Amino acid sequence: MEPYDPLKLENQICFPLYALSREVIKLYTPILDKIGLTYTQYIVMLVMWENETILFKDLATTLHLDSGTLTAVVKKLERSGWVTKNRTLQDDRSVEVKLTQQGVEAKKDAVEIPQRLFANFEGDLDELMQLKLLLDKTLEKLNQTKRVADRKEERNGFL
């Protein structure tokens, strides 16, 4: 093994994940354009359709988005009339995102999106579902590792 082999693109775990993500989003784009959403707006709406009301910080955690990115996306959805955003009465620091009636009704237009996406996929759907399960498992392990590191950092900060 050459000393610089670890730096070859073909040896990176991150690159096929990055490339796959970009290609999947490209498949979504023409489908989402028909209902006026970007991919990031779509995943926000998926969470909203499941919850109808959610704290902003919980939405950010669920989607692995930083506050700045999510703020911009929620503002666009708010301007489009799909969600509202307000401070909670219990804690002025907390912001609640709520689905509007227009957002509820948009779910009817979106229900066929996963089926349309799969129709564009020319591969084994069982393999795709196995990949999703493996990615979910890997993401959960990374989240556990991050939580452990965060707790260690918090303890070190108080010593």
Residue 110 near residue 35, CB atoms below 8 Å:
yes
Look up the CATH architecture of domain 45-107. Answer: Orthogonal Bundle (1.10)
71-85 average pLDDT score: 98
Model confidence over 9-54: pLDDT tens digits?
Answer: 999 999 999 999 999 999 999 999 999 999 999 999 999 999 999 9
> What is the C-alpha to C-alpha distance for residues 98 and 14, in angstroms, rounded to an integer?
34
Domain coordinates in residue numbering, the chain:
1-34, 45-107, 123-159
E strands, 19-151, in order: 53-55, 83-87, 95-99
CA separation for the pair 40, 61 (Å, rounded): 14
Q: Tell me the whole-structure pTM to 2 decimals.
A: 0.88
Q: Is the pLDDT of residue 158 over 70?
A: no
For 33, other C-beta atoms within 10 Å of its C-beta total 10
**pLDDT for 61 beyond 90:** yes
pLDDT in the model for residue 152 = 77
100: helix, strand or coil: coil
Q: Give φ, ψ of 93 to 5 degrees.
A: -85, -20
Q: Return the pLDDT at 157.
A: 66
Q: At which residue do the structure tokens 């093994």 appear?
A: 1
Q: Are 96 and 85 in contact (CB under 8 A)?
A: yes
How many other CB atoms sit within 10 Å of the CB of residue 144? 10
- Percent of the chain residues topping a pLDDT of 70: 97
**pLDDT tens readout for residues 79-131:** 999 999 999 988 889 999 999 999 999 999 999 999 998 888 788 889 989 99
For residue 122, what pLDDT is reported? 81
